[in-house]
């Protein structure tokens, strides 16, 4: 199984964000990727750098104006607000009517939904190469590989078509799924991160050629809120191609695996020819953002069941934060998936 990662992804270095009204240390740290990288090396995975595929694959799923906003946004913010200020939005348009303003503070509110995606000096470079890592994985699948893994950081599944959200800037998994439609008529994207794949849902909701399934606690009471309800099944050509499978907060490992089986069955029924996995390890019982109770052996079983679909698969890293079992969970899933797809 090929693995892709670029060290430039470590350059996004947020210090803090606001949660429930209080400033706290930011959970999405470069160390996450370093832990996963070191585990991969220790387990004999060969890590390659991605090629530069440019902006076109990113703009194929994101609003081009949003993409073009990001490269200079941090420097423009610093020029306006100074180096001590946190580059987050403090003004929001509410319901999306109106027009993008030209002032940087207004633009932050237009293109960014919350405080969890503060811009730092290295954010653009990290997000760009995170997306390129994902695209390289799609290219490997298009070239005939059975499985490939993108160690993406920052993650992507909360990023919507035209805004950042929930630690995410570019929706790497949706970029991969769209890229795979160059060869495959039917692609499935399953999100096993503990949080709703709300950005993927937003991007893919009217797509009939990409089936989207997300496992997560009820968004009525658990972040990222708003999207991911059971009655959201797609619109237009995408009617029936979105599936949100809700978990109880505190769900056991067996509960999670039972819901996963429902997602796998739906993917088979869809007739998917290729698979993208939004791979989050924050379903772990000891993750800092834990809401359910999966252990290393549970991640291994998830890998076996997903590999059992027996179709070309791109794995795209999402969440999984600095809990004590992060490396063990990643090792369990990825070594099991490698063995099952050799």
How far is it, in rounded angstroms, from Cα 282 to Cα 112? 23
Whether residue 97 is predicted with pLDDT greater than 60 in this model: the reply is no
Band of residue 320 on the pLDDT scale cut at 50, 70, 90: very high
pTM, 2 dp = 0.95
- Give 46-49's long-range contacts (Cβ < 8 A, gap of 24+): 46/2, 46/3, 47/3, 47/4, 47/5, 47/151, 48/2, 48/3, 48/4, 48/5, 48/136, 49/4, 49/5, 49/6
Whether residue 269 is predicted with pLDDT greater than 70 in this model: the reply is yes
Query: How buried is residue 134: exposed, middle or buried, by Cβ count under 10 Å (0-12/13-18/19+)?
Result: buried
Pick from 244, 234, 245: nearest CA to 209 = 234
Q: Is 100 among the domain residues?
A: no
Task: Say which of 26, 105, 158, 195 is annotated catalytic.
Answer: 158
Pick from 77, 187, 70, 193: nearest CA to 130 = 70
Whether 158 sits among the annotated catalytic residues: the reply is yes
Q: Is 93 among the domain residues?
A: no
- At residue 146, the pLDDT reads 98
In this prediction, residues 197-201 reach a mean pLDDT of: 97
- At residue 119, the pLDDT reads 97
- At residue 92, the pLDDT reads 78
In this prediction, residues 260-274 reach a mean pLDDT of: 98
In this prediction, residues 264-284 reach a mean pLDDT of: 98
- At residue 113, the pLDDT reads 82
Whether residue 12 is predicted with pLDDT greater than 90 in this model: the reply is yes
DSSP H or E run through 195: none
- At residue 94, the pLDDT reads 61
Minimum mean pLDDT range among 54-68, 72-86, 103-117, 158-172: 103-117
Cβ atoms of residues 260 and 244 within 8 Å: no
- At residue 103, the pLDDT reads 74
Q: Is 136 among the domain residues?
A: yes
Residues 20-65 pLDDT 10s: 788 999 999 999 999 999 999 999 999 999 999 999 999 999 999 9
Specify the CATH number for the domain of residue 253.
3.40.800.20
In this prediction, residues 142-170 reach a mean pLDDT of: 97
How far is it, in rounded angstroms, from Cα 36 to Cα 26? 18
In this prediction, residues 301-312 reach a mean pLDDT of: 98
Q: Is 271 among the domain residues?
A: yes
Q: Is 201 among the domain residues?
A: yes
Q: Is 62 among the domain residues?
A: yes
In this prediction, residues 315-332 reach a mean pLDDT of: 98
Give the list of residues 6+ apart from residue 160 with CB closer than 8 angstroms, or none.
113, 171, 198, 199, 202, 203
What are residue 127's phi and psi, to 5 degrees? Answer: -65, -40
Whether residue 138 is predicted with pLDDT greater than 70 in this model: the reply is yes
pLDDT over 70 for what percent of the chain? 97
Q: Is 74 among the domain residues?
A: no
Structural domain of 326: 2-69+122-340
Whether residue 95 is predicted with pLDDT greater than 70 in this model: the reply is no
Q: Is 269 among the domain residues?
A: yes
Q: How many domains does the chain have?
A: 1
């Amino acid at each position: 199984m090929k693995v892709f990662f670029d060290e430039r992804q470590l350059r996004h270095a947020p210090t803090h964000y606001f949660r429930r009204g209080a400033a706290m240390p930011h959970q999405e740290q470069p160390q996450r990727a370093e832990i996963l990288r070191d585990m991969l090396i220790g387990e004999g995975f060969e890590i390659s750098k991605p090629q530069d595929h440019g902006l076109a694959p990113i703009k194929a799923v994101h609003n081009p104006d949003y993409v073009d906003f990001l490269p200079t946004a941090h420097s423009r913010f610093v020029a306006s607000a100074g180096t001590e200020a946190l580059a987050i939005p403090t003004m929001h348009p509410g319901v999306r009517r109106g027009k993008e303003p030209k002032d940087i503070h207004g633009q932050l509110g237009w293109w960014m939904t919350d405080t969890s995606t503060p811009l730092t000096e290295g954010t653009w470079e990290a997000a760009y190469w995170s997306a390129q890592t994902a695209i390289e994985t799609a290219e490997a699948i298009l070239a005939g590989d059975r499985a490939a893994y993108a160690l993406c950081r920052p993650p992507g599944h909360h990023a919507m078509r035209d805004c950042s959200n929930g630690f995410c800037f570019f929706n790497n998994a949706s970029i991969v799924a769209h890229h795979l439609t160059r060869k495959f008529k039917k692609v499935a994207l399953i999100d096993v991160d503990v949080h709703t794949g709300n950005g993927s849902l937003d991007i893919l909701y009217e797509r009939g050629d990409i089936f989207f399934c997300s496992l997560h606690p009820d968004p009525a009471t658990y972040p990222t809120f708003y999207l991911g309800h059971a009655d959201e099944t797609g619109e237009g050509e995408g009617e029936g191609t979105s599936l949100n499978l809700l978990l109880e907060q505190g769900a056991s490992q067996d509960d999670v695996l039972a819901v996963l089986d429902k997602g796998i069955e739906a993917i088979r029924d869809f007739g998917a020819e290729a698979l993208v996995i939004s791979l989050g390890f924050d379903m772990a019982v000891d993750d800092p953002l834990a809401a359910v109770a999966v252990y290393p052996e549970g991640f291994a079983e998830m890998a076996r069941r997903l590999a059992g679909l027996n179709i070309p698969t791109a794995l795209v890293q999402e969440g999984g934060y600095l809990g004590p079992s992060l490396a063990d969970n990643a090792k369990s899933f990825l070594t099991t998936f490698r063995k099952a797809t050799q």
